[in-house]
Structure 1
Amino acid sequence: MEHEAYILGRNFSANARLNLQYFLWKDAGFSLHPSIPANVENLRVAEIGVGTGIWLVDLARYLPPSAQIDGFDIDLTQCPPKEWLPSNVAVHKIDCLGPLPKHLLEQYDIVHIQLFHLAVHNNDPAPIIRNLLGLLKPGGWISWGEMDYSTFKIIRTEEGNDVEDNLTALLEMIGTLGGTRPNWTADDWPIRLPQFFEENGLTNVAVNNRPFPLELLPFQLDTALMASEEVSYKALDPMRNGSGDRCRDLIFKVFQNRQKLAYNIGRLTVVGQRPSQ
């Protein structure tokens, strides 16, 4: 995704939001899908779109010290300084959606990508899958995680039965960028990732789809409101049509009822293996 197309923030509050999102996603789950063999020596792992680098740092604590973990992004400003990263973690400024440098081809046992929804065009992740396949050694694994918006559901407490649902309107505004594009949150391609994987030659496809436990819904809502506010300033305000203000008004109304109304959604992870031959 080109730098100019990134509609979320890159400041300290965006960093905090990304880190909270990561730990909420991982709660009662995993850093790597359990079907992926990771307790092996000299493992090479790549992450595409590192954000703050939190996954890289966290994963390094669970893998053998001989593992080499590389992160690729077109913007590394949200990451820790390179000299503060674990010794087996490195980050690199590379656009992995474009042609890949030859020295990276077939070098990795595992390629991880997560929350990349905004970079997928025309409901078709196949071009990205094909590009990432180039990074994998024969027998290597791809792991792709996305929020499953097909499972989006408003959740109310008893006190919230009569509360106006401003959340759905907010999701519509963010998903369509104020009505200027098709609603990316209505795309169903994440739940079709197993099909996309198989069509592109991946085998041993496995799926994990976990909703959030009720006690984490307010925290998950907080991250959604933070992301929505980032979009309101970075993408909607430049339109100069009042959509940024309308978005922030919805955010305020949703937050007022934070203890009465929230939403749940699936944390979807799909993994597949490149054949050895």
Structure 2
Amino acid sequence: MTRGDDYVLGRGLADSVRLDAQHLLWKMHKGYELHPLIPRTDNMKIAEIGTGTGIWLFDIARQLPSSVQLHGFDISDNQYPSKELWPKNVSLGLLNSLIDPPAHLVGQYDVVHLRMWVPNIRGNDTSALIQHVKSLLKPGGYIQWEDADLVHQYVKGPKAQEFERRINKIFDKAGLDFRWVSDIPDRLTEKGFLVLESESGRFELDSIQECTKTYLLVLREYINGFKKLPDLDIQQMAKEEEIALDQLYLQYSHGIVYNWSPVSLLGRRDD
């Protein structure tokens, strides 16, 4: 989700399946969907921005009372299931989370969840996104955020390591700066949040291959997006790396590791 929706990844069937698989990956890594420190109340309101397929909301809907209101927002509804498949207490709508929210949503939510915003931020500037979350929350409301650190990665195997080096050159040329992810706690503190928990690290052994598989799919989406950019140099670089990525696809179950580092945070609006 970006201003004007210049989302570089895809929204097709395979892309939606990849999002759902990443939900499983996070579930395996954290052991929960809604953070256990967040108080549960019968009539609480929870929002997820950049909801994608809505899989996180659908999952927690099975765990919470039906009186809890669950609202998902995205700049595109292309990956939403048909409305008749939504749980009764789930609604999905359109919203640009990089501008101020409409007045009827301000101060409405006990919890705002966001996940995997790393492809969506341009220019290392998260101020609009964090301010949007703060506006949605009630005073004392919680932000639960999981994201991917694409700077401090765990990559194993000579071909994977060479691919990482070369794809990073394309990221740099396309103006994608991922350094902000490791700085999320400080950025939230500056915006008036109290950081209650912040974790980063690597996936456990049982999750490493799941991350590698889904990340290789993400890299394919990036390359497909780069090939559509007007910059001819980026187009050519992407076409060259597409061949190298094909080789990694053939090796994903033969010892290569291509993992980003998971970053998770729980904060509370403190002003």
Identify whether the pair has TM-score above 0.5, normalized to the shorter chain: yes
Equivalent of residue 264 in structure 1, options 251, 259, 263: 259
Equivalents in 2 of 1:95, 1:55: separation in Å? 19
Q: CA deviation at 1:9?
A: 0.8
Question: Amino acid of the residue matched to residue 49 of structure 1?
Answer: G
Deviates more, 1:50-59 or 1:114-123: 114-123
User: 2:162 corresponds to which residue?
Assistant: 166
SS at match of 1:168: helix
Q: CA deviation at 1:163?
A: 5.7
User: 1:159 corresponds to which residue?
Assistant: none
Q: 1:18 to 1:173 in 2, by over 3 A?
A: farther
User: 1:6 corresponds to which residue?
Assistant: 7
Q: Could you tell me whether the CA contact under 8 Å between 1:170 and 1:250 is conserved in 2?
A: no
Equivalents in 2 of 1:35, 1:58: separation in Å? 18
Equivalents in 2 of 1:217, 1:141: separation in Å? 29
Q: 1:93 to 1:237 in 2, by over 3 A?
A: closer
Q: CA deviation at 1:238?
A: 4.5
Q: Could you tell me whether the CA contact under 8 Å between 2:170 and 2:237 is conserved in 1?
A: no
Q: How does 1:74-93 map to 2 (within 5 A)?
A: 74-93=75-94
Deviates more, 1:40-49 or 1:90-99: 90-99
User: 2:38 corresponds to which residue?
Assistant: 36
5+ residue gaps, structure 2? none
Q: Could you tell me whether the CA contact under 8 Å between 1:3 and 1:75 is conserved in 2?
A: no
User: 1:252 corresponds to which residue?
Assistant: 246
Q: How does 1:65-214 map to 2 (within 5 A)?
A: 65-156=66-157, 165-169=161-165, 171-173=167-169, 175-176=171-172, 179-181=173-175, 183-185=176-178, 187=179, 189-214=180-205
Q: CA deviation at 1:24?
A: 0.8
Q: Could you tell me whether the CA contact under 8 Å between 1:237 and 1:243 is conserved in 2?
A: no
TM-score where L is the length of structure 1: 0.87
Deviates more, 1:207-216 or 1:139-148: 207-216
SS at match of 1:208: strand
Q: 1:127 to 1:3 in 2, by over 3 A?
A: closer
User: 1:215 corresponds to which residue?
Assistant: 206
5+ residue gaps, structure 1? 157-161
TM-score where L is the length of structure 2: 0.89
SS at match of 2:161: coil
Q: Could you tell me whether the CA contact under 8 Å between 1:118 and 1:184 is conserved in 2?
A: no
Query: In the TM superposition, what whole-angstrom CA distance separates every residue of 1:151-173 from its partner, at most 9, and x where no partner exists?
Result: 312235xxxxx667334135415
Q: CA deviation at 1:255?
A: 2.3
SS at match of 1:131: helix
Q: CA deviation at 1:202?
A: 1.1
Question: Amino acid of the residue matched to residue 184 of structure 2?
Answer: L
Q: Could you tell me whether the CA contact under 8 Å between 2:111 and 2:141 is conserved in 1?
A: yes
Q: Could you tell me whether the CA contact under 8 Å between 1:229 and 1:247 is conserved in 2?
A: no
Q: Could you tell me whether the CA contact under 8 Å between 2:211 and 2:260 is conserved in 1?
A: no
How large is the RMSD of aligned CA atoms in angstroms? 2.1
For these two proteins, the number of residue pairs brought into alignment is 265
